[in-house]
Chains A and B, each alone.
Chain A
Amino acid sequence: MDPLNYAARRIGQTLPVALLVTLLIFLLIKLLPGDPATAILGERASDAAVRALHQQWGLDRPLWQQYATYMRNLFTGNLGQSLRYRTPVVELLPHRMTVTLFLVLYSMLLSVLIAVPLAIVAAGHRDRWPDQLVRGLITLPLASPAFWVGILLLIVFALRLRWFPAAGYGEGVVGHLRHLFLPALTLSNLLTAVLTRNLRSSLIDVQRTTFVDFARAKGLARRVVLFRHVLRAALLPIVTLIGVRLSYAIGGSVVIETVFALPGLGSWMVDSIMARDYMVVQTLTLAFAMGVMLINLATDLVYPLLDPRVRMG
Chain B
Amino acid sequence: MLSRPQNVRLYVIIKGGRPMRGLRGIVACAIISALALAGVSAPDASAQQFKKAISFGVNRAAENLDPVTQDANPDIWAFMQIYQQLVRVNVQGDGFDPDLAERWTASADGKTWTFSLRRNARFSTGDPVKAGDVVWSLKRAHDVKGPWQWALEPVQDISARGDFTVVITLKEPWAPFLADVSLFSNSVLSEKIFKDATQDQISNKPVGSGPFMLVDWKKGEELVMKANPYYFEPGLPKTPELRIRYIPDDNARIIAVQSGEVDGVDYPPFSRVAELKRDSRLQMQLNPSTAVSHLTVNIREAPLNNVKVRQALAYATDRYAIVRAVCFGYCTPATTFLPNTTPYFNKSSKGYPYDVAKARALLKESGVPTPLPLKLLYRSGDAVAQPTAIALKAMWAKAGIDLELEPLDRAAATQRYRSNQFQVYITGWTNDIPDPSQLGAYELGFTESQSYHSGYHTQEMDDLLARGLREMNPEKRRQIYYTIQDIALRDSPQIWLYYSPYTIAIDKKMKGFVQMATGPWLFKNVTVGE
**CB–CB B252/A112 < 8 A:** no
Residue of B nearest to A277 (CB): B63
A217 to B37, CA, bound (A): 39
**CB–CB B3/A113 < 8 A:** no
**CB–CB A243/B3 < 8 A:** yes
Which residues A66-85 have CB closer than 8 A to chain B? 82, 84-85
**CB–CB B30/A167 < 8 A:** no
Q: Does B9 contact A (CB under 8 A)?
A: yes
Which residues A145-180 have CB closer than 8 A to chain B? 151, 154-155, 158-159, 162-168, 174-175, 177-178
**CB–CB A166/B5 < 8 A:** no
Of B153-161, B256-264, B310-318, B393-401, the stretch lying at the interface with chain A is B256-264
Contacts of B40 in A (CB 8 A): 163, 178
Contacts of A294 in B (CB 8 A): 1-2
Q: Does B412 contact A (CB under 8 A)?
A: yes
Q: Does B251 contact A (CB under 8 A)?
A: yes
Chain A 32-61 interface mask (CB, 8 Å, partner B; 1/0):
111110111111111111101000000000
A136 to B238, CA, bound (A): 56
A259 to B72, CA, bound (A): 23
Contacts of A46 in B (CB 8 A): 145, 147, 448
Chain B 239-255 interface mask (CB, 8 Å, partner A; 1/0):
00000011111011101
Q: How far is the CB of A198 from chain B (nearest CB, A)?
A: 15
Contacts of B64 in A (CB 8 A): 40, 84-86
Contacts of B497 in A (CB 8 A): none
Q: How far is the CB of B264 from chain A (nearest CB, A)?
A: 13
Q: Does B220 contact A (CB under 8 A)?
A: yes
**CB–CB A261/B249 < 8 A:** yes
Q: Does A109 contact B (CB under 8 A)?
A: yes
Q: Does A246 contact B (CB under 8 A)?
A: yes
**CB–CB B252/A166 < 8 A:** yes
Contacts of A276 in B (CB 8 A): 411
Contacts of B365 in A (CB 8 A): none
Chain B 404-415 interface mask (CB, 8 Å, partner A; 1/0):
000011111111
Q: Does B95 contact A (CB under 8 A)?
A: no
Q: Does A9 contact B (CB under 8 A)?
A: no
A38 to B72, CA, bound (A): 12
Which residues B3-53 have CB closer than 8 A to chain A? 3-7, 9-10, 13-14, 17-18, 20, 23, 26-27, 29-30, 33-34, 37-40, 43-44, 46
A contact residues, total (Cβ < 8 Å)? 90
Q: Does B306 contact A (CB under 8 A)?
A: no
Q: Does B440 contact A (CB under 8 A)?
A: no
Chain B 255-289 interface mask (CB, 8 Å, partner A; 1/0):
11011111000000000000000000000000000
Contacts of A158 in B (CB 8 A): 255, 259, 261
**CB–CB B245/A168 < 8 A:** yes
**CB–CB A121/B18 < 8 A:** no
**CB–CB B18/A227 < 8 A:** yes
Residue of A nearest to B60 (CB): A271
Q: A35-B415, A261-B247 are in contact. Are A167 and B262 (CB under 8 A)?
A: yes
**CB–CB B38/A151 < 8 A:** no
Q: Does A90 contact B (CB under 8 A)?
A: no
Q: How far is the CB of B204 from chain A (nearest CB, A)?
A: 6
Residue of B nearest to A36 (CB): B411
**CB–CB A112/B9 < 8 A:** yes
Q: How far is the CB of B146 from chain A (nearest CB, A)?
A: 6
Q: A105-B6, A109-B37, A114-B34 are in contact. Are A274 and B26 (CB under 8 A)?
A: no
Contacts of A190 in B (CB 8 A): none
**CB–CB B200/A34 < 8 A:** no
30 pairs, A vs B, C-beta closer than 8 Å: A33-B411, A33-B412, A33-B415, A39-B411, A40-B63, A40-B64, A42-B71, A43-B417, A45-B71, A45-B418, A46-B145, A46-B147, A49-B146, A86-B204, A105-B5, A108-B3, A112-B9, A116-B10, A130-B23, A154-B251, A158-B259, A162-B43, A166-B256, A178-B38, A223-B18, A235-B10, A259-B251, A263-B218, A263-B246, A295-B3
Chain A residues at the B interface, C-beta cutoff of 8 Å:
32-36, 38-50, 52, 82, 84-87, 92, 95, 101, 105-106, 108-110, 112-114, 116-117, 120-121, 124-125, 130, 151, 154-155, 158-159, 162-168, 174-175, 177-178, 181, 223-224, 226-228, 231-232, 235, 239, 242-243, 246, 258-261, 263, 267-268, 271, 274-276, 291, 294-295, 297-299, 302, 305
